[in-house]
Each structure stands twice: as structure tokens, then as C-alpha cells.
Amino acid sequence: MYPDPKRVRDNRQTVRFDDYEDELLRILSKMTGAQTSTLIRELAMRQAEEMLADAFFGQQPKADASLPRAAG
């Protein structure tokens, strides 16, 4: 059926966002024309690959791309 059955995307991860994060993702989704879930997956995979490359090749980490959080 598939050349590589391990490439079938049937592993699910749950991620929760607050209202501000959700709004940011929805705006970006509208701007790019991509579905929000597809956009989140692409962003997560890109970041994971960068982090792995940085760790593996000993490169200096780039600036933190996460949103600033208020001290709680």
C-alpha cells in the first residue's frame, strides 16, 4: 500500500494554546493559506530539526523563538 508504512502519520500529539497563541496561529494560517494544524506541524518539525542539528553538530543555539511569558 505505502512504500514505507512508517511514513503514515498516525501518531497523535496534543498541544494546547492560550487565546493569544491561538490567535497568532490563526492569523498566520490565514496569511499563508495553510490549515492551522499543518502549519503547527511544519513549525514543530522545523524547530525540532534545528535543535537536533544544533545539539549534534555543537552549534550555538539560535535566539529563543518562543513567545515571552509573564512571570507567574
- DSSP track, 8-22: S----------HHHH
pTM: 0.70
- Tracing cell 515571552 back to the chain, one arrives at 68
pLDDT at 64: 56
Q: What is the mean pLDDT of residues 9-35?
A: 96
pLDDT at 58: 77
| Cα distances (angstroms) measured from residue 28 to each of 38, 46, 68 | 11, 16, 18
* Nine cell digits for residue 27: 492569523
pLDDT surpassing 80 at residue 52: yes
